[in-house]
Amino acid sequence: MAKKPPAAPASPLGDVTVGAGGELHQAQGRHPGLTTNHGVPIADNQNSLRAHPRGPTLLEDFALREKINHFDHERIPERIVHARGSGAHGFFELTQSLERYTHAKVLTEVGVKTPVFTRFSTVAGGAGSVDTPRDVRGFAVKMYTSEGNWDIVGNNIPVFFIQDAIKFPDLVHAVKMEPDRGFPQAGSAHDTFYDFISLTPEAMHMLMWAMSDRTLPRSLRMMEGFGVHSFRLINAQGESTFVKFHWRPKLGLQSTLWDEAVKLQSADNDFHRRDLFEAITSGSFPEWDLAVQLFTEDEAQDFPFDHLDPTKLVPEELVPLRVVGRMVLDRWPDNFFAETEQVAFFPSNIVPGIDFSNDPLLQGRLFSYQDTQLSRLGGPNFHQIPINAPKCPFANHQRDGHMQMAIPKGRVAYEPSRLSATSPRENWTRGFRSFAEAPSGAKGRVRAERFADHYSQARQFYRSQSSPEQAHIASALVFELSKVETLFLRESMVGHLRQVDEYLARRVADGLGLEDLPPAAPTDVPAEDRPPSPALQIIGKMKPTLEGRCVGILVDTGSDAQAVHGLRKAAESAGATVKLVAPKIGGAVLSDGKRVAADGQLAGTPSVVFDAIAVVLTASAAAAFVQEAAAVEFVRQAYGHLKAIAMDAGAQALVQAAGVVPDAGVLAVHDTAAFIDAAQTRQWDREPNVRTLA
């Protein structure tokens, strides 16, 4: 008689247990069997079919193709994810050749300016949602190279929630509005998301990033971009080097605070879009460095993780970044729909000299993105839309189809042919060739063994943060989990946090009011203590500058003209934009008898839209403003959001009414140099005095 397999261990998740490789084991009999749309039973819904554990995903995986194909066509014409976006034209200029590693012209021809179109986006919300929720930001760059379009389609975070593309529809279904109620919009603070995450421990690293200030950017111009996956560079000799792509903003990193982001949603739904538009139209062109991490197959074998796992990053301390070029965005689209809405990005758009890795998430994206655009843009000819068309010559034998805008001539629409001397033909010497990788291992729905460590890099990320950033992560988790109605989900998430960092778990448990600390989540691969990586911080990497920032000055009739003009001159000399706020949009007559125009009306221009403020008022104006809630909140919120505040003697009554306690960031108007210095950062020492953090 055959020996019975051992029973699965009891789990706090009920009839579901999580295996070491991330697979789910579910008790039979209580749930209907999962099948394809055609009734074929599904044995494994966690892993796509790969040639071997670290091999490419196979096209024969009908379950993966059906699942993603259906998902890609769920919504039309709005993007299912990344629906709300803003884009701009510009150029990429190579400053250091990578000819040793690749024969791609865009990465070998120094000084050539390649046209680009870049689109930034939120992920979870619809096209009509707002700019500033806690969310990952898409960061997609289309380069119109001389050898065809090359798209780097990534995010402002270098890792992702899942290891395998077959789980992407599940992730997005979980984070989107719950289907029985249609809310919450553009938010992850609800039960279905944390139900999924609690059963997907591979997501814990990305969750740390999502709960950090990285998902609350101050500006699209002040966030990093990442290609996320490992790619290959192929040189003229056919040799391969792995590469990861990074975009680094010239203005440095800066984020908002959670309370500030919430208030920005009411102050200006289009805050990021407006900021990008105003910067470009004023000539303050956003700029990023393109940096690469380069490593060989042998070097990758020595990493304490698998670089093909998209939930892992390669720390900069392990493989330093090498800056090779710059991107400048210098032109706003002429028509938002025709360009920003109709632009189609594909990870599969690469040029000769670049190739894919076997990252299982990337492998699924290579199919999914093009499939999505067939639905969104109405058919197979979307590449003829001007924003998507290459700027180099292109020709093939694809014909007809919906919205065909070209008029192909001649009788030959196939290859090979001898009937036409001008029909397109393959070119072995200049054409794209894939890297000749030797296969190893057996085909199956499996994951590589080194994909099973779900907590080490999550721990490394959290412990690499500064003290304020750690507090923000803990507070974000308390906020999100407090919105989760189901107690065992809150407890389960704290159990996962115990594997990340015990103190973090206790902070969150205390913030949730849990009387007992839940047991740590089971894992076959305990987290390792990795060296902290300061490169993962925001505060430690913030650039002390006012360039690209905005200073607001509150004025009214009789305000000291010399003080106002002096502050404006100093701030603008430091690179900031200065805007005057007055009770009426018509402006105010200053002490010199001259009227200055207002850039914003007080009631509609709160201090959340500024990086620092100054209050220049007469004593009588300040006394009147004490009775004006918008004026009190203007000062109170700037103080609560840790911004530098300059004030003159006349403003004292208003500043006191706002509850401002003098500190290093509260300065006299005449101390201009000190104010400009303080305005370059936030007053982090103030935070414990103005809010309770986990």
Contact yes or no for 521/495 (Cβ under 8 A): yes
- Gyration radius (Cα) of the chain, Å: 27
The dihedral of CA 586, 587, 588, 590: what is its sign? negative
Which residue bears the tokens 């205390």? 510
The CB density around residue 373, as the number of other CB atoms within 10 Å, is 23
C-alpha dist (Å) from residue 131 to 120, 219, 220, 254, 451:
10, 10, 10, 16, 34
Q: Is 82 a catalytic residue?
A: yes
Distance CA 504, CA 459 (A): 10
Which letter, b or e, does each residue of 252-276 get, where b requires 16 or more Cβ atoms within 10 Å of its Cβ?
Answer: bbbbbbbebbbbbbebbbebbbebb
The CB density around residue 249, as the number of other CB atoms within 10 Å, is 23
C-alpha dist (Å) from residue 596 to 547, 592, 605:
24, 10, 17
Distance CA 318, CA 229 (A): 17
* DSSP code per residue over 68-101: HHHHHTSSSSS-SSS-SEEEEEEEEEE-S--TTT
Contact yes or no for 676/570 (Cβ under 8 A): yes
Distance CA 223, CA 641 (A): 19
Distance CA 67, CA 53 (A): 21
Contact yes or no for 610/621 (Cβ under 8 A): no
The length of the chain is: 694
What HEC string does 540-554 produce? HHCCCCCCCCEEEEE
Question: Three-class SS of residue 253?
Answer: coil
Distance CA 348, CA 178 (A): 31
Catalytic residue among 82, 89, 472, 641: 82
Distance CA 249, CA 284 (A): 13
Per-residue tokens: 218: 């101050």
* DSSP code per residue over 298-320: HHHHTSSS-TT-TT----TTTS-
> What is residue 51's DSSP assignment?
S
User: Residue 520 half-sphere exposure, CB side, CA atoms within 13 Å?
Assistant: 14
The CB density around residue 94, as the number of other CB atoms within 10 Å, is 20
Catalytic residue among 47, 69, 149, 155: 155
β-strand partners of 581: 554, 600
Which residues are catalytic, by number? Answer: 82, 155
